Chains A and B, each alone.
Chain A
Amino acid sequence: MAVEKKVAAGGRGAHQKWRVLTCKVGLDGHDRGVKVVSRALRDAGVEVIYAGLRQTPEMVVEAAIQEDVDAIGVSLHSGAHMTLIPRILELLKERDASEIIVFGGGIIPEDDALELKRLGVAEIFGPGTSLQAIVEFVNRGFQQAA
């Protein structure tokens, strides 16, 4: 089922389609999750810009701005999430692009996930999250579940 135009969900701009940048930050190469999620988002009607492995926060934010995305999905497995994700949020703020939503996945312990959400991350999807949950998140306009 294709995702309906974001206008209905109160999208950020007048985009016809959701545009999401997916990427891995950190030095490791576990890309199974980010690739599976990218495919699932595509199947849900999203335009996914896959930015690849070993992206730095600076690269992620620059690419997100050039691609004018609605959201950034970051996958992390190396334990550096408390350094790298806040840095992404910080850079978005510096570039006046804080309306780009950030969500994360991978190996992120629950207490860290809570802290990241407090800092402004929309959602953290731990291991075992169903693809359906992620698609529903997109359908809600990248808002957390009620």
Chain B
Amino acid sequence: MAVRKKSSREEWEEQSQAGKQPARGRGRTISGMPIEPLYTPDDLRGWSYEEKLGYPGHFPYTRGVYHSMYRGRPWTIRQFAGYGTAEETNRRYKFLLSQGQAGLSVAFDMPTLMGYDSDDPLSRGEVGHCGVAIDSLEDMETLFGGIRLDTITTSMTINSPAAILYAMYIAVGEKSGVKPAQLGGTLQNDILKEYIAQKEYIFPPEPSMRLVVDTIVFAAREMPRWNPVSISGYHIREAGSTAIQELAFTLADGMAYVEATIKAGMPVDDFAPRLSFFFDSHIDFFEEIAKFRAARRLWAHIMRDRYQAKDPRSWILRFHTQTAGVSLTRQQVENNISRTAYEALAAVLGGTQSLHTNSMDEVLALPTERAAQIALRTQQVLAHETGVTETIDPLAGSYYLEHLTDEMERGARRYFERVDEQGGVLACIENGFFQREIADAAFEFERQLEANERIVVGVNAYQEKEGSPVPTLKIGRETEQGQVRRVKAVRERRDNTSVQNRLVELKVAARGSQNLMPALIDCVRAYATEGEIMAALKEVFGVYREPILF
């Protein structure tokens, strides 16, 4: 009787279980997806290259959105920056431009992000701290003083008051002879994720969506070089979600914007090519790469099949990535340099269009110059020394990665169904679905850390006695005082009757249904302050009170 010879696989299985040693490690990704010790062709049975991957720059874009990807042009290094006064930031911008950087990124302070002028009592202690303070057009003019707006692109990270800052940017351009159509840049302007994660909301969801749609429509008609929304997963992830949740909730938000804009009468191909995305790159290496690839594939199908977009540019998911702030530790901050490097590598292997790498001390305060420089160099080493840019989507075909990409897609689709069942994104925001999912994931994350089921070097393993405090950047009080003086001076110098009239016109427009951008541009031209404009809109739209969930 012949004994069947054991297959190599069976032999390996026996050997790897010899001694019945328990598996080391978690056996799961950081998001909880199970990981087998080994992946083989068996895991990709029925998998088709043409269907699942295709070619770069071709549907479904899994391998990349452009034909040549980094072989043609590397990703854009776009380090988020900004602090203090418009003057100081203007100086920093001029320096960066002189060093060859062509993309500027504006970070605003909390009062500006929340729609308060620098002299508002609620702004006390926060002016100029985590970004630049912009109260009126005058500050914007100072911010870009001496810089030709048609020679750069600018990314503005702002949400609830985004339309106002957008109007200011346009007004600055016009005053210096640059037409709106010549302006290039990106506005984050993703209000849905504010309700879900970052909580920098002001108005309730419906009027907020109206404002976003107004900016998308305005950009589609007047500003072909402008990306009016950067649909964000970063904040959702930082709030504690899993990778699948980040992927699913972000794309769901994207779908909500697409649907709202179509409903406002815009044909999908008129605006969809200019939608862009913003993801986190976290520390679980392969899961992140799978996430980025799944995102491209999902969005391509969604745009072509669900929304019948015909223009291939509408199918393309372009994205910016930031390495995960939440993965950085206060203990042994230098370790954060390594973490950021791994996360940057994942983003690049995942095909990101632009990248921000965190500085090691960002967990403590705004980065020092030295730390910011190391973060920049990290990208440069990656781009020039590692060789990962020499070929496109180098990890394609990996049994593990393709399996993981498929799992990511499956998980996201399951969430899409649940969102649809509950009536869409706005309904889910109202009933707290996203917030609950995130709160649970965040708590589970924390629990694993506490139970040492998850190791973070320096925190629950390889600890060191705390050394002396790392020097951090301090913002002095003079910034606030100076800014308060400046905004008061603007209010005195301008034609206040004109301001009042423009604000009334804005309110009338807001009560109606016309696009608010022209009225906003008029208001900022008259030097109405951001706080005044927001107050006028709050009168019409009301303010949002969130459902509190644990």
A residues lining the B interface (CB < 8 Å)? 26-32, 35-36, 38-40, 50, 52-54, 56, 78-80, 82-84, 107, 109-111, 126-128, 130-132
* CB pair A110 B126 closer than 8 Å: no
Task: Choose among A27, A84, A126, A132 the residue with the greatest number of B CB atoms under 10 Å from its CB.
Answer: A27
| CB–CB A128/B329 < 8 A | yes
Stretch at the interface among B12-20, B30-38, B110-118, B489-497: B110-118
B interface secondary structure, majority: loop
A128 touching B124, Cβ below 8 Å: no
Tell me if A32 and B125 are in contact (CB < 8 A). Answer: no
State the CA gap A16–B481 with chains docked (Å): 47
A139 to B398: give the CA distance in the assembly, Å: 51
- B111 partner residues in chain A, CB cutoff 8 A: 27
The answer to whether B23 has its CB under 8 Å from any CB of chain A is no
Give chain A nearest CB distance to B521 CB in angstroms: 26
Is B443 in contact with chain A by the CB < 8 A criterion?
Answer: yes
| Neighbouring A residues of B201 by C-beta, 8 Å | 29
Does B446 lie within 8 Å of A36, measured CB to CB? yes
For residue B439, CB closer than 8 A to chain A, the reply is yes
Beyond contacts A29-B198, A36-B446, A79-B366: 7 other A-B pairs, Cβ-Cβ < 8 A, are: A28-B199, A38-B550, A52-B548, A78-B130, A84-B125, A109-B364, A109-B365
Interface membership of chain B positions 449-460, coded 1 if the CB is closer than 8 angstroms to chain A and 0 otherwise: 110000010011
Assess the B199–A30 pair: CB atoms within 8 A: yes
Interface residues of B in 450-478 (CB under 8 A from A): 450, 456, 459-460, 469-470, 472, 475
Nearest chain B CB to A37's CB is how many angstroms away?
Answer: 9
A82–B449 Cα gap in the complex (Å)?
A: 30
Contact B129 A53, beta carbon cutoff 8 Å: no
Q: How far is the CA of A31 from the CA of B200 in the complex (A)?
A: 11
Is residue B239 contacting chain A, with contact meaning CB distance below 8 A?
yes
Q: How far is the CA of A109 from the CA of B472 in the complex (A)?
A: 7
B548/A130 in contact, CB under 8 A: no
Whole-angstrom distance between the Cβ of A108 and the nearest chain B Cβ: 8
- Return 22 A-B CB contacts under 8 Å, by A number: A27-B113, A27-B114, A27-B126, A28-B130, A29-B200, A32-B238, A35-B439, A35-B442, A39-B550, A40-B446, A50-B550, A52-B548, A79-B125, A79-B365, A80-B125, A80-B129, A83-B124, A84-B124, A107-B363, A107-B365, A127-B329, A128-B456
Q: How far is it, in angstroms, between the C-alpha of A27 and the C-alpha of B126 when the chains are bound?
A: 8
Tell me if B240 is interfacial: C-beta within 8 Å of chain A: yes
Asked if B331 lies at the interface with its beta carbon under 8 angstroms from chain A, I say yes
A131 lies within 8 A of B110 (CB)? no
* Contact for B199 among A29, A84, A127, A130, CB less than 8 A: A29
Is B126's CB under 8 angstroms from A31's CB?
Answer: no
Closest to A58 in B: B121
In the assembled complex, the Cα of A38 lies from the Cα of B442 at a distance in Å of: 13
Contact-residue bracket for chain B: 35 or more
Report the Cα distance A124→B459, complex, angstroms. 17
Q: In the complex, what's the smallest C-beta–C-beta distance from B549 to chain A, in angstroms? A: 9
Q: Once the chains are docked, how many angstroms separate the CA of A82 from the CA of B125?
A: 8
Residues of B near any A CB (own CB < 8 A): 110-111, 113-114, 116, 121-126, 129-130, 194, 198-201, 238-240, 328-331, 363-366, 439, 442-443, 446, 449-450, 456, 459-460, 469-470, 472, 475, 548, 550
B474 nearest in chain A by CB position: A109
Contact of B450 among A26, A50, A130 (CB under 8 A): A130
Q: Which residues of B contact A54 (CB under 8 A)?
A: 114, 122
**Alpha-carbon distance A132/B449, docked complex (angstroms):** 11
Residue of B nearest to A132 (CB): B450
Chain A residues closer than 8 Å to B472, beta-carbon distance: 109, 111
Bound-complex Cα distance A30 to B475 (A):
21
Instruction: A111 to B442: give the CA distance in the assembly, Å.
Output: 29
Nearest chain A CB to B442's CB is how many angstroms away?
Answer: 5
Chain A residues within 8 Å of B130, by CB: 28, 78-79
Query: A32 and B548: CB pair below 8 A?
Result: no
Distance in angstroms between the alpha carbons of A79 and B110 in the assembled complex: 10
Residues of A within 8 A of B125 (CB): 26, 79-80, 82-84
A53 adjacent to B199 (CB under 8 Å): yes
Report chain B residues within 8 Å CB of A26.
110, 125-126
Which chain B residue has the least Cβ–Cβ distance from A28? B110
Contact B548–A50 (Cβ < 8 Å): yes
A41 to B165, CA, bound (A): 41
Among A29, A56, A132: residue with most chain B CB under 10 A: A29
State the Cβ distance, B205 to closest chain A Cβ, in Å: 15
Shortest beta-carbon distance from A31 to chain B in Å: 6
Give A29 to B130 CA distance when docked, in angstroms.
13
Selected contact of B200 from candidates A28, A38, A39, A52, CB within 8 Å? A28
Task: State how many angstroms separate the Cβ of B336 from the closest Cβ of chain A.
Answer: 11
A131–B446 touching, CB < 8 Å: yes
